[in-house]
Structure formats: structure tokens, C-alpha cells
Structure 1
Amino acid sequence: MTSAPPSQSPHSESLPSDAAPSEVLRAPELARRPVRRERVVVVLAVVLVALIVCGWIPGVAGTIGAVLLPWLAIPLVLCLILAVWSARRSIVVLLVPTLLWAAAMVPAMPGVGSDAQGDPMVVVAQNVRAESGTAADSARAAVDEGAGVIALTELDADSRAAAQSVLDADYPYRYEVGTEGIWSRYPLGAGEPLSLGLGWKRAARVTVQAPAGDVSLYLVHAASVRLGKQEGRDEMLSQVADVIAADRSERVLVVGDFNAASTDPALRPLRAAADWVRPTGISPGFTWPASAPVARIDHVFTRGLDVASSTSFRAGSSDHLATRTVLAAGA
């Protein structure tokens, strides 16, 4: 006589015969995965906001933040892709860093060039890097670019002599002070060295007697930045801004190596005293290091001048690219 099978509770449910227990056990974990991804996106968004905001803070944080700012577009885009793929509800969170990044980058966005009419004035400037041994190559490259004015910084004795050997014949007007040198096809008026609070000459001012009218040309080589040590650079940029703000010349042009990325807070006073010239074209115009540029630290500022184009190019073996600025003939 066989015994009857044990009765089952009416509330109990049997597993489907084709469902593996492990699959059922993994179901809650699978449900939690989108939540985890959303948390990752939110954390990354907070980090991006912090890095963007750092770029607005004067001092070391602002200097580092300004260098990183253009490159934050890469993790921002990756976060957006991750959100679209697996955590769509977190897209709203990413709107905050996206809008902040766009607002922070506006002052550094490239501009649109125009055709230079008539006989424009072309100005080439470069930090030729002392002891690079290629100042002559830099000078020849500037000549090939059709420069009417060539402004070179970080000239040691040998590089100055090399540049002179290339330029003196076709650029009869020259002004030099310290490690700065300006060669011109146009007559030069009175010049003066500028120490700008550093105790030695790192900048100069000279009047270029251009066909369209006199231009006050400033050549600047800001003090270098070291980790935790940038007071000298900040002081120099602040003082050069004061000098330019006090300059009553109708036309002002400022070029050189500022050792500050485009959105560095240390450049704010200078941006208020003159117009920052946007690189023309689709690139952000990075100039340093020349082998693989990651930041634009060589700048051009103007007041009372119309800029047709502003580009950068490789010249010699310097660690800086040269800048080429075309000023409209009627400027």
C-alpha cells in the first residue's frame, strides 16, 4: 500500500521546471545594476562640477583648473554616453556640469577669421626657448609667414645673435631689452623696459609706426609657474594689466608668453584692459608644449585694432608654438 504524497499549502508556489534557481536569485541583483550606474554618473557629475568651479578660483586651483577645463569635455561626453546607454534618469544631473563647462569655456572659444584687405600688418611672436639653438630657424619661419613685426622672448646671448643674423638685413628697426627682442619693417618709436614688480626686465613697450597709425606694442614674458609658487606670475600679470589700462594710445597690441591658460583667473585684469584675441579656426589654438600642445599660454590682446586672423604654427625647436596675428590694414 503506497502512501499519499504530502499535501502542499495553498499559498506555496513551486518553481517552474525550466527555471534555474541561480537565475531567480540573480534577479534582484540585475535590478540593482541600473541604480548603481546612476550613482556612478551622479558621482562623476559632482567631480566634474568641482573641477570646473576650481577654474574660477584665483591662485593654484584656478591655474590648474584652467589647464584642465578644455579636456573635461572628454569625461563629460563619456558620462553622457553612459547615461544614455544604461542610466537615462541621470541625464538630468549631467545638465549641471554640461552648462557650467559651456559657460566656463565661452571666453576661450575660437573665433572666426576674415580676409585681410589691403596691406595688413602681420605680427609673429614666440618664446624661442633659451639654449634651444634654433632661434635662427624660428626667425626664418617668422619671415616665411610674412611678418612685418617679429617679437621673440627668452633670448640668450647665442640665440639673440642667431636671430640678428637672420633678421637685421630685412628688419632694420630693432628694440631689445633683457631677453626680449622686437624686429620690425616699420620704424620704431621710443621704447621702454618693464620690470612689472619682478626686479628684472621681463617685458617691453615700444611704438610701432605702422602705415595705419602708431601702435603701442607690448611684449610680455610672464614669470614661470611652479607647483605652489606663482606669486611672481600673478603679480606681473596684474601690473601689466594696470599699465595697459593706463595707456591712452589709440591702438594697443600685447603679445607674448603669459604662462597662463586662456581662462586662468590671473588673466582677468588683462582681459578687462584689452580684448583677448581668439584663435581663428576650429582649434582652441593650444601653443604649449609644441610637441603635443595641451594649453594655450601664448596670447594676443588688442585695443583699437581689427584682427583678421590669429593662428599658431611650429617654428624651430622651441617648446612653444609661435603665434601669427594679422591686423587689418585699416586698423
Structure 2
Amino acid sequence: MSALLEAPRETRDSSSRRSTRTRSGLAVLVCIAALGLAAVLGLHVLVPDLLGLGLIVDSALPWFGLAIPVLLVLAFVTRAKGAVIAALVPTVVWGVMFVPAIVPLAWSAPAASGDTLTIASQNVEADSGTAAESATALAASGAQVIALQEMDADAREQVEGVLSDSYPYSYGIGTVGVWSTYPIENAQALDLGLGWQRAIAADLATPTGLVSIYVIHAASARPGDHADRDTMLANLADYIPRDENDRILMVGDFNAGSSDRTIAGLTGQLSEANQTGGGFGFTWPASSPVTRPDHVLQRGMEVTSNTTLRVGGSDHLAVLTTLNL
């Protein structure tokens, strides 16, 4: 009889030991995954670009945060203090890297001054056939300056027909152009080392003095094929310390997300404001944005609002930014 009574106890003990081993194994996996995730987040610039891995990691970096809740849940399931602590490491790293950038600008934005400049920028996607529609909507936004990228000859002609009366000053070359209510001075095309022109530089003669403006349509970036883009952004960054104006605007389609290591040469010298309503402000693809290749970078001014909007049939959202001059 005693042997029969002992059997269930042995079964329970065996089951308990298996459960403990399972939780211990899971705790080890959580620790490895959490610390690995933290390393990728914090040291992503060291990830080699073999087969385009570096570009993929840089572009997807904000989305890695989706793994954190899963790790936290698994860590609590293991009941292991070490696993919980390990899961908190990428949580902190992700928070430090991205939370300051997604806090709503509206919480701290300065009041608009008597002299402001609103600039709208969009890659209009030449094949969309809706460049004129985009130009009409951006003009209705009240922007004093409109910068457009990826225009073919037909798109440029359509845009000119829409904007020429309200925006008497313009300059363009290749796939980029800028239309302004302020006089444009010292305009020039930039090839940025590629031998073909997808960028322009000019001065805007605003009521408070000159503001440098650069409009760029960077070369495409695909896994394993982004050398031309890298060259363009590196050469563009070299213009900043040589610019004689205290105030600079650099806008357009950079084909590099905010966390891309290649754009660091620009963002280390210029700033990009948070979104007025918070969030990452992703702009591509327009139907369901997952990254932000479109930027308004600036120096010497205060941003009072910064938003994205869908206009035309482009696969890029437009960016609309207002600054105190």
C-alpha cells in the first residue's frame, strides 16, 4: 500500500523537476536574446554590411522594439530574476535611442514668431502622374517654399503650370526643383560626386536675411546596392561647414531612415524636429509607412510644427515644416 501512495508523489516531483528545467532553459534563451538585441540596437553601426545586412538592420531598427514586450513576458514566465533584468536592458537601450525622438513636438514647441517660413517637401513619384495634384495640395497648405523630387520632364511642366503664378521664383535641375515666394539667389546644381545632378543649393532671400536651402533626391538604396547614395550623402555633409549662412535647410528624399548610419554625417551637424503629434513620422510607403527617408534638416532656426501629409498618388508622404526665422 505504501508503494502505491509514493508513486504519485514521485510523478509530481518528476514533473516539477522538468518544469524547473524548462523554465531554466527558457531563462537562458531570454538572456541571450535580450542581450543580443541590446547589442544590435546600441552597436548597429558595427553590423557589417554583408549582403546588405547593415542597411536592413539600420532601416528596421525602430521596429526591433516590438521584440521587447515578448522578451519581458517570457522573462516573467521563467520567474528568474536574471532573465527579467536581462530583458530590461534592451528596453532601456531602445528607450534612450528612440523615446526622445517620438515625444510630441507640441509639448515643447516655441510659439510662432512674426516671421516664419513653412516648407513642404515630397518625392512625387514620377510614374504616379499626380505631380500637379501634389503641387496643388502643397500650395494650399500655405507653404512659402515647395521642394519636389523625382520629377520627370512631364511632371516638372505640370508643376510649373500649377505653381508659377503663386511661386514666382523657382530653380530646378534633373529630378529636383524648388518653388518659392521668396527670391532665390545663388542657385546651383550639385552632382555630389556622381557626375549626374540630383541636388541643388540656393539662398532664400527671406525678410530676415538669407537662408541656405539644399534639395536632394538621393540615389536609391537597396540591400547590397547603396554606394551611390552613400557617396551623395557624404559629399552633401561636406557642404555644411563651408556654408556661409547661419541658417540652413536641407530637405528632400535622402533614401536613408533616421537611424541609418549613413545619414549621421548630416544629423550630426543639422537637427530634425520631432513630429508635432509625436511618433516616428514615417513617410514610405505612403499606404502603410514603415520608414522615413524624407527629411527636413535645419540649423539656426526654431521649428514650431512638423507634420506629414498624404497628397497626390505618390508612394511617399509629404513633409510640412514651419520654422521661426
Tell me if both proteins adopt one fold, taking TM over 0.5 as the criterion.
yes
**Aligned twin of 2:183:** 187
The one-letter code sitting in structure 2 at the alignment partner of 1:208 is L
Counterpart of 1:159 (choices 152, 155, 166) is 155
**In 2 relative to 1, CA 55–141 (structure 1 residues): closer, same or farther, beyond 3 Å?**
farther
Corresponding residue for 2:66? 74
Cα drift, residue 311 of structure 1: 1.1
Please state how far the C-alpha of 1:207 moved relative to its aligned partner.
Answer: 1.1
Contact 1:125 1:323 in 2 (8 A): yes
Of all paired residues, the percent bearing the same amino acid is 40
The equivalent of 1:41 in structure 2 is: 30
Structure 2 distance, partners of 1:54, 1:193, is: 36
Aligned to 1:233: 229
Question: d(CA) in 2 for partners of 1:24 and 1:125?
Answer: 67
Structure 1: which 5+ runs fail to align? Answer: 1-7
| Compared CA separation, residues 110 and 67, structure 1 to 2 (3 A) | farther
1:51 Cα offset (Å): 3.0
Counterparts of 1:125 and 1:150, CA distance in 2: 6
For 1:51-130, what aligned pairs fall within 5 Å after superposition? 51-53=40-42, 55-57=44-46, 59=49, 60-89=52-81, 90-105=83-98, 108-110=101-103, 112-113=105-106, 114=109, 115-130=111-126
CA deviation vs aligned residue, 1:144-199 (integer Å, no higher than 9, x gap): 21110000011001111121121111111111111111111111112000000111
* Residue-by-residue CA offset, 1:261-280 (whole Å, 9 max, x unaligned): 10211112112332233333
Cα separation, 2, equivalents of 1:16 and 1:46: 46
1:14 aligns to 2:6 (yes or no)? no
- Measured in 2, the distance between the counterparts of 1:27 and 1:111 equals 49
Q: 1:247 to 1:193 in 2, by over 3 A?
A: same
Contact 1:190 1:206 in 2 (8 A): yes
- The equivalent residue for 1:242 is 238
SS state at 2:268 partner: helix
1:267 corresponds to: 263
Aligned AA (1:82):
L
Letter in 2 for 1:49: A
Relative distance call for 1:314 and 1:127 in structure 2 (3 A) is same
Q: CA deviation at 1:107?
A: 7.2
Distance 2:285 2:202 in 1: 28
Moved more, 165-174 or 99-108: 99-108
Q: Which amino acid aligns with 2:213?
A: L
Q: Does 1:27 align with 2:20?
A: no
70-79 vs 58-67, greater mean Cα deviation: 58-67
Pick closer, same or farther for the CA change 1:107–1:243 going to 2, 3 Å. Answer: farther
Where structure 2 has 5 or more consecutive residues not aligned to the other structure, the ranges are none
Cα 1:66/1:107, change in 2 over 3 Å: farther
Q: Report the TM-score, using the length of structure 2 for normalisation.
A: 0.90
Whether the 8 Å CA contact 1:55–1:61 is kept in 2: the answer is no
Residue type of the alignment partner of 1:84: F
What is the aligned-residue RMSD (CA, Å)?
2.2
Q: Structure 2 CA distance, aligned partners of 1:303 and 1:20?
A: 73
For 1:126 and 1:292, locate their aligned partners in 2 and report how far apart those are by CA, in whole Å: 16
Greater radius of gyration (CA): 1
Q: Does 1:303 align with 2:295?
A: no
